[in-house]
Chains A and B, each alone.
Chain A
Amino acid sequence: MRTVAVVGASLAGLSAARSLRKQGYDGRLVVIGDELHRPYDRPPLSKEFLAGSLAEADLALEPDAEDLRAEWLLGVRAVGLDGPQRAVRLADGSEVRADGVVIATGAAARTLPGTDGLAGVHTLRTLDDARALRDELTLGGRLVVIGGGFIGAEVASTAYALGLDVTVVEAAPTPLAGPLGETMGTIVSALHADHGVRLLCGVGVKGLSGESRVDAVLLEDGRSVPADIVVVGVGARPCVEWLAGSGIELDDGVKCGADGRTGLAGVVAVGDCASWYDPRAGLHRRVEHWTGARERPDAAVTALLAGGAVEPSAPRPPYFWSDQYGVKIQFAGHAAGADSVTIEEGARDDRNVLAVYRRSGHPVAVLGMNQPRLFMRWRKQLATAA
């Protein structure tokens, strides 16, 4: 291979570029990113960066001395892929021809329809999003967070610490029931009430009110929640529109094998846009976690460089973390399919628990709240048992 193009310059793209060099690839390496920023770390955007305790320089993912000998094309969006030619078309009309392509275009925050142009309404995905939201939060006021998932909960926690009046609106009866199951979703989301943050569950959002600036969130049950700032945290969609017509199979993201290979020779996909086959579960799924974006490119690059001549090694069980109201929340494995969950250590009322999810008696997932040591032991056990 003489040229490899990595499309996407966030964690997954950077990890792929690093893996390429680490695994001995010595050819031309082009990294394409639609943001102007060098690769930066996103998890602090809803936490330390938003709170003002981490500066932009602290978000950089590259140490000063790192040199990947890559050509960085930043601030330019990929708009198409010629599959057979493996040519990436860019928004400025140019194209990058490559022997290998790594698709790492990530996901974009979902928005609420009809809220464009209304001041005070934010999503949180990029550094620019976080800058804009941080500037408003420093003014204080009433914040309504739409969506009680991890991003929404972290923003609520950060804003609470900054002294804002915070309400979280969640359409599902139990927040976090998808990733954590109902029992633990209830326990984790109780952190809001512990701190006087209102949590309204089981009610959808009908729309927002306000002339040029938002002034309230209108709920489907007729209630209206006054708001000076609104954060919409209702998930993300994979950024794969640019691959239409490329011959790449798309199905909630780029459909990949268990090592990130797509149906096109010389093209792999990693990170939030990629829907990898999970041999244990027997299905494809997108794993939108930092750890997957960091670790899976190693396997995808191995597959890319070997042309598929190596057997994929099973990735570790998915792992993610969250920090809310000073509590460290960690989760590994898959809660879906568990038939029991038991608290093995700590007390739910102290928000200090280690919970194990089992299916037919076998551990399939583990949750820790302020239990990093025990959690790590269980996480290790999950990985070796799998």
Chain B
Amino acid sequence: MMIPACRLVDLPRGEAYRLDIDPPVSVFHTDDGEVFAIDDTCTHQDASLADGWLEGCEVECPLHASKFDLRTGAVDAPPAKRPVRTHEVHVEDGMIYVQLSLDAPNLPPCVAARLAGGPA
């Protein structure tokens, strides 16, 4: 599924745009001008990576210290142990589109439980 996110001109370098779908996805515009999309929720705990510390091609979770690679979704260190999903990004006529991954998301236990209807 191809989802329009925002216009490239509206997303300055070093900033992120969060798509409020379920689970949310975020688009990052790096300082080098590249654009990436990953799942927005840290795999350790419910935190929005769009609020995180973007440096190069990595974003650090705003709550704890795990960093995710925007290119691969890989995580560098605890407390998170699992990668985030990455999504393909297309820019057409100045508009950023996200092609959602078909993989299952790696959501943190509290969010996964909530989505499953269990206790949060």
Interface residues of A in 351-386 (CB under 8 A from B): 372-373, 375-376, 379-380
Interface residues of A in 12-70 (CB under 8 A from B): 14-15, 18, 41, 43, 48, 53-54, 58, 60-63
Residues of A within 8 A of B79 (CB): 41, 43, 61
Closest residue of chain B to A294 (Cβ to Cβ) is: B65
Rounded to whole angstroms, the CA-CA distance of A63 and B110 in the bound complex is 19
Interface residues of B in 65-120 (CB under 8 A from A): 65, 77-79, 81-82, 109-110, 113, 119-120
Q: Check: B47 CB closer than 8 A to any chain A CB.
A: yes
- CB-based contact A61/B63 at 8 Å: no
Interface residues of A in 269-315 (CB under 8 A from B): 290-291, 294-295
Among A11, A372, A379, find the residue whose CB has the most chain B CB atoms closer than 10 A: A372
Q: Which of A14, A53, A328 contacts B109 (CB 8 A)?
A: A53
Residues of A within 8 A of B110 (CB): 48, 53
Q: Check: A325 CB closer than 8 A to any chain B CB.
A: no
- CB-based contact A379/B53 at 8 Å: yes
- CB-based contact A58/B52 at 8 Å: no
Q: Check: A242 CB closer than 8 A to any chain B CB.
A: no
Among B53, B62, B79, B109, find the residue whose CB has the most chain A CB atoms closer than 10 A: B62
Rounded to whole angstroms, the CA-CA distance of A11 and B66 in the bound complex is 13
Closest residue of chain B to A330 (Cβ to Cβ) is: B63
Give chain A nearest CB distance to B54 CB in angstroms.
9
Q: Which of B47, B64, B78, B109 contacts A61 (CB 8 A)?
A: B78
- CB-based contact A294/B51 at 8 Å: no
Rounded to whole angstroms, the CA-CA distance of A61 and B78 in the bound complex is 6
Interface residues of A in 106-139 (CB under 8 A from B): none
Rounded to whole angstroms, the CA-CA distance of A381 and B120 in the bound complex is 34
Give chain A nearest CB distance to B40 CB in angstroms.
12
Q: Which of A11, A15, A48, A321 contacts B63 (CB 8 A)?
A: A321
- CB-based contact B62/A58 at 8 Å: no
Residues of B within 8 A of A376 (CB): 51-53, 62
Q: Which of B48, B65, B113, B119 contacts A291 (CB 8 A)?
A: B65
Contacts A53-B109, A372-B62 given: A63-B77 contact, CB under 8 Å? no
Q: Which of B63, B109, B119 contacts A372 (CB 8 A)?
A: B63
1/0 per residue B44-59: CB within 8 Å of A? 0001101111000000
Interface of B is mostly: loop
Residues of B within 8 A of A295 (CB): 65
Contacts A61-B78, A330-B63 given: A53-B119 contact, CB under 8 Å? yes
1/0 per residue A222-257: CB within 8 Å of B? 000000000000000000000000000000000000
Residues of A within 8 A of B52 (CB): 376
Rounded to whole angstroms, the CA-CA distance of A53 and B119 in the bound complex is 8
Contacts A295-B65, A328-B63, A373-B51 given: A63-B119 contact, CB under 8 Å? no
Give chain B nearest CB distance to A296 CB in angstroms.
12
Q: Which of B53, B63, B82 contacts A63 (CB 8 A)?
A: B82
Closest residue of chain B to A63 (Cβ to Cβ) is: B81
Residues of B within 8 A of A14 (CB): 78
Residues of B within 8 A of A380 (CB): 53
30 contacts between A and B (CB under 8 A): A11-B78, A14-B78, A41-B78, A53-B109, A53-B119, A54-B109, A58-B109, A61-B78, A61-B81, A63-B82, A290-B64, A290-B65, A291-B64, A291-B65, A294-B65, A295-B65, A321-B64, A328-B63, A330-B63, A372-B47, A372-B48, A372-B62, A372-B63, A373-B48, A373-B50, A373-B51, A373-B62, A375-B62, A376-B62, A379-B53
19 additional A-B pairs beyond A11-B78, A373-B48, beta carbons within 8 Å, are A53-B119, A53-B120, A58-B109, A60-B81, A61-B79, A62-B81, A63-B82, A290-B65, A291-B64, A294-B77, A321-B63, A328-B63, A372-B47, A372-B48, A372-B51, A375-B62, A376-B53, A376-B62, A380-B53
Residues of A within 8 A of B (CB): 11, 14-15, 18, 41, 43, 48, 53-54, 58, 60-63, 290-291, 294-295, 321, 328, 330, 372-373, 375-376, 379-380
Q: Across the A-B interface, give the 6 residue pairs with the lowest CB-CB distance, nearest first.
A: A373-B51, A372-B62, A63-B81, A376-B62, A61-B78, A372-B51
